[in-house]
Amino acid sequence: MGARRSILVMHDIKQFIKKKANSLGFFYCGFSKATFLEEEARQLDTWLNKNYHGKMSYMENHFDKRLDPRLLVDGAKTVISLLLNYFPKEKQTLSDEEIPKISSYAYGEDYHTVIKDKLKTLMSEIKDGFGEINGKAFVDSAPVMDKAWAKRSGLGWIGKNSNLIHPKEGSFFFIAELIVDIDIPPDGPLKDYCGTCTRCIDACPTEAIVSPYVVQGDKCISYLTIELKDELIPSEFKNKMDNWAFGCDICQDVCPWNSFSKPTVEHRFQANKKILNLTSSEWEQLSEEMFHELFKKSAVKRTKFSGLKRNIQFIKTR
């Protein structure tokens, strides 16, 4: 593992990683022991058995790997969770109520690319500091329960809308992980401060939050506009989409904790002004060429042109 590690105690390693993570733009970094997620296993099993995942069949795959990071990284001992702020400085210009809306996380460059670059650098810095370490980086594209690990790492609690909420930052951030084979002292979880608030539940136009802390995925607007690949969106959601064409921010926008959200300083997340200022007619007349030009670096490209046009047509037809 390298001679330098014998000189440095685990506390120093922990502080080193936090400092390096912060220098890369991650505003919080927490640590938890790599072990089996027993409580989450029961919750996931119940959620899947109720078919709340809809047509996200991938959620049924790698059940054990989702719950045990030791099956993803040989000798895994610690999960390092990191938060990266994406709260926008400015939002879409909604000059009329007919303008299709996209989730604010897609205003700038695709977070997968941005975060992978940062994690690669962080992993390199850790190895430079402490010798050869086995580890892998994860960003929302592997069977890792990122919110569960972030909760265990003391980076927030899981809100009633199933999002991770930080008491000083709200929930407009991405979660990423490094799973490594070194023992680092874990951080403890935070208390749940949602209390009796039900604003997210009350505000969801499709009633996707079926009970506190439980989201029926196939009723969620984000699922309907991104994950659902069918040619048509089910008619039962007609006039319930609140003009969202890609993703949805409603349950975050109404959350009182997001009054603490601060604009991101990550330049790659800065909003594409052309996207923010699209008019209703420009959205309707969007061509495939313009789609690729506007969204070539955005997460919106996940829907593909046909998917975005389907969404726009669905919310436009009354």
Distance CA 257, CA 200 (A): 11
* Nearest Cα residue to 105 out of 202, 203, 171, 30: 171
Known catalytic residue at 146: no
Residues 6+ apart with CB under 8 A from 305: 288, 291, 292
Catalytic residue among 12, 64, 128, 140: 140
Q: CB of 46 within 8 A of CB of 59?
A: no
**Measured in Å, how far apart are the chain's first and last C-alpha atoms?**
63
Q: CB of 200 within 8 A of CB of 159?
A: yes
Which segments of the chain does DSSP mark as H helices, in order? Answer: 4-7, 10-23, 38-49, 63-67, 111-130, 146-152, 199-203, 221-222, 250-253, 273-276, 280-284, 288-295, 304-316
Burial classification of residue 212, based on how many CB atoms lie within 10 Å of its CB (0-12 exposed, 13-18 middle, 19 or more buried): middle
What's the angle, vertex CA 171, arms to CA 169 and CA 175, rounded to 5? 100
Provide the b/e sequence for 214-235 (b: ≥16 CB within 10 Å): bbbbbbbbbbbbbbbeeeebee
Calculate Rg over the CA atoms of the chain: 20
Question: If phi over 0 gives left and psi between -120 and 50 gives alpha, with beta otherwise, what is residue 317?
Answer: beta
Q: CB of 60 within 8 A of CB of 16?
A: no
Token pair for residue 42? 């029961």
For the annotated catalytic residues, the residue numbers are 140
